[in-house]
Each structure stands twice: as structure tokens, then as C-alpha cells.
Amino acid sequence: MSETAQTYRNYIGGEWVAAADGRTTENRDPATGALLGHFPRSSQVDVDRAVAAAKTAFEGWRRTPAPKRGEILYRVGALLAERKEEIARILTSEMGKVLVEARGDVQEAIDMAYYMAGEGRRLFGAVVPSELPNKAAYGVRDPLGVIACVTPWNFPTAIPSWKSMAALIAGNTVVLKPATDTPHSALKLVEAFADVGLPPGVLNLVMGSGSEVGMPLVQHPDVAGISFTGSSEVGREVNVEAARAFKRVTLELGGKNAILVMDDADLDLAVEGILWSAFGTTGQRCTACSRLIVQKGVRRELEERLVERARALRLGHGLDEQTQVGPLINTGQRERVHSYMQVARDEGARILAGGEMATEGDLTKGAFYTPTLLTDVKPGMRVAQEEIFGPVLSIIEVETLDEAIAVNNDTRYGLSSAIFTRDVNSAQVAMRDLTTGIVYINAGTIGAEIQLPFGGTRGTGNGHREAGLGALEFFTEWKAIYVDYSGRLQRAQIDA
């Protein structure tokens, strides 16, 4: 019996259009393999059309008063709230995360819409005194131009909203390229903008692969800035290509995040935080906890508790409200995760729980992997250094707080970290010395809120931040303005 499914289109210049050559890509449910739809497999021609539309729309959008731009974002937020359940169910079907998390993914987009809409009445500049009499000096923010937003599959509504909404409120126009595994979620976001009356060309959606759409966007001469979230390997290529043309680029890349558990920790609370951080979203978050750095005195008890709880986690389709862990994004990622089990054994680690593909009933139809605990892990092992991006937690024993902090900081990534302790002094030391962009005290490594800058240190990115006011720093250019009303030529640093 042949499968049938709807065919979807790109959104360019205010119109829903097929890819120029008519090619499409299948979108399938990672839990069942069911066909969800056919989505455009776009090419350079489609990229050129989208960038041209964004470039044409830029001048009018730039000159639209920022509070008016904000009013559109408010309407988008309200519409997303109305459609939250519909979008969440689409998101779960194509990405796999459980429904409660999918609702949270959509809620981030709603929150971001309202937050950035408010910035339309701020977009603060700077007013400073001049060193000369009868002269004013101040700074304002200018938009960059056309922005390419290249987004990943693990937060297919939230991350496109982080990027596009900050860019739009600042007066930029946008071409959005979502991940090939999750195009429908991004389409529903763009659909909300279209339905509230965003002017044509201000936000464009081009679906397709990284090689056929992503890199052509990065290299396009009319794209002024690139906002990229994805793997470190691809991020490096994006950075090199952007540098050739002196383009502004922000990179949000990998993570190898850790939770530190001290001997004095509330273990009941720590267990909940660890399970949520390691196995929420099936470990497919850049902020997921993949290392547990535990002080020697509580290691055995903590391991016993985690083994019992990890084995009891219920795997299944994310649309089932009883499911706790959904599938990995695809079978290729499942194979990659599984390959690390042999790496762990070869390096001397032991598997306490999981470590295998799910083989029960309907789970065999999807990309399911059992929640996995590795112990006897040493800080230098590959499983303690490389981003696995799956439900795998490596347990590392330490003697002291100082050792725990040193182990945490000794990776090429620096996104998120957390510590469980009842000692206020230990918490203060951790806040000072953990060298990650995000630090949690008595909470897991996931759960960032949109009103603070999001991003990390070292190989996690290139220093820019998403969300919060930090996003506006990337999407705007400072313009210094001097107004001399003295009626005569005054020379700064000379006549002062």
C-alpha cells in the first residue's frame, strides 16, 4: 500500500511557493517511520529568490517604527498561543520529544514574541556628554540588513523564534532555513507571521539541506549576517565562509555539560535534576547533562538511585502522555549513540543501565535507545569529552569541590553546568569558578529562560549570545551621532 501525504511549500516574498525545480524531501515520524509530508528540497535558485525578496523588503521594514514592528510580534505571540497545542503535536510527530516538552518548545516562541515585542519600545541607545560646548553626542542601533537564520532540529520552534524575532524587532529582514528533519514546525511559526500581516519579504522560509540551502545562504553576497545553531564541525565551516566576506556571524554549537553533586547535596532533588537533564528530550539538547561529577561519599547511593529510576523510564511515542522518553531524531543518530558503547568499554568504563537499542514491541519501528548510565568514567575518556547527543550519562568520581570544578571546566565546550550542594560557600565558589555561559545552583543543566543571554564559552560558540538583550547586540550595528549647535567649527581633542 502506497503512502500519501501533503506537499508543503517555501514562503518567499509573501507567497507559498514550491522549490524552483519541484524537488521534495520526505518528513517521517522518528517513533514510527510514518510519512508526515513532502517538503521542498530547495536549491540556489530558491535561496536567490528569498534573499532578493528580503533585500527588497529591508528598506521599508527598517523604516517601520520599532513599536509598530513590536505590535506585529505581539499578534504573533497571541496567535501562537491559540495554536500551541496544534503546533506542539506537529513538533512531537516530526522531532520525537514528548508532548509536554513540545508544548514548552512552543511556549518559548510565545515568550520570545512578547519579550522582543516589548523591545520595540526600548532598543536602548546611549546618550553621553560631549567634551565640547553646545554639542550633543549619542549612539543609536541600526539593523544589519538581510539575516540568514540556520536552525537545528532539536528545538524546531523555539530556536527559529529566538533568532528571527530578535532580528526582526531590530529592523532586519530574515531568510530562515530550518533543519531537514523538522521543517513543519518552522513552517507553522512562519505561517503565524504570515497570518498576522507581516509585510511580504520581511520573513522568508526556504527548506532544504545544508549544502544546497544553508551554505549558499552563508555565501550569498546580499546576506549581511548569519545566525547558526548546529554542530561544531559545520559551525567552523560557516565561520570560515563568513570571515571571507567580513560578515557578522553568531554560532551556537556543542556542549558537554555536567552536574556536580557534593556529599552534602539533597539527593532526592539531585536525582530529579539529573534524570531531567540527562534524559529529557532523549538527551538531545545542547544543554543536556552528559557528565555527572559526583563526590566520593555519595557516589554509590546516587548510582543505585539513578539505575533504578533510569530503568523505569517509559519509552514510547511522544504523543502518549504517559511517555517519558521519546525516540532519537533518526536511526542514523541512534547508530551513532550506540557506537559509543564500544568506545566506553574499550576505555574501561562500565555500563550500569541501558546501553542498547530498544527491542520491545512497537519501539522497534522507531529510533529508540535505552537511557544509559556509564560508570568508572575518567575525565579524559572520549565519553567524557565528546558530545554524544543522546540519552547517555557518564559518571565521574571526585574527592573535592575544587577537583569537581576542574573536571567540569576541562572540556572544549562551556555551555551549561550545575551544582547540588547545601553549602552556601560551595555554591558561591561554583558560581565564581565554573567557566560556562550558564550556571545552575540546585537545579539541572537545562531550563534557560528567554530574558537572559543564552550561550557558552570555548568551543560552544564564538562569543555572541542568543535571547535576552544579548541577541540585540548581534543583530544591530552601533551608529555614533554628533550634533554641533555652536554655529562654529569645533575640533574634538584639539579645542577641548
- Largest Cα–Cα distance in the chain? 85
Closest C-alpha among 417, 346, 357 to residue 391: 357
Residue 164, CA distances (Å) to 37, 44, 112, 246 in order: 24, 21, 10, 21
Contact call for residues 94 and 156 (beta carbons, < 8 A) = yes
In order of 113, 346, 373, 455, the CA distances from 351 in angstroms are 43, 12, 6, 31
Give the bridge partners for 395, in sequence order. 292
Q: Which of 101, 108, 252, 466 is catalytic?
A: 252
Q: In what order do the strands lie in the sheet with 392-398?
A: 350-353, 372-375, 392-398, 289-295, 257-261, 416-420, 438-441
Q: Which of 286, 289, 303, 397 is catalytic?
A: 286
**CB contact at 8 A, 399 and 296:** yes
Q: Are 217 and 211 in contact (CB under 8 A)?
A: no
Q: What's the rounded Cα separation, in Å, for the pair 242 and 5?
A: 38
Cα-atom radius of gyration of the chain, to the nearest Å? 24
Would you say the C-alpha torsion 334, 317, 205, 252 has a positive or negative sign?
negative
Distance CA 288, CA 70 (A): 33
Four-CA torsion 453, 458, 462, 464, nearest 10 degrees: 10
- Residues paired with residue 203 on neighbouring β-strands, in sequence order: 174
- The yes-or-no answer on residue 289 being catalytic is no
So which residues are the catalytic ones? 252, 286
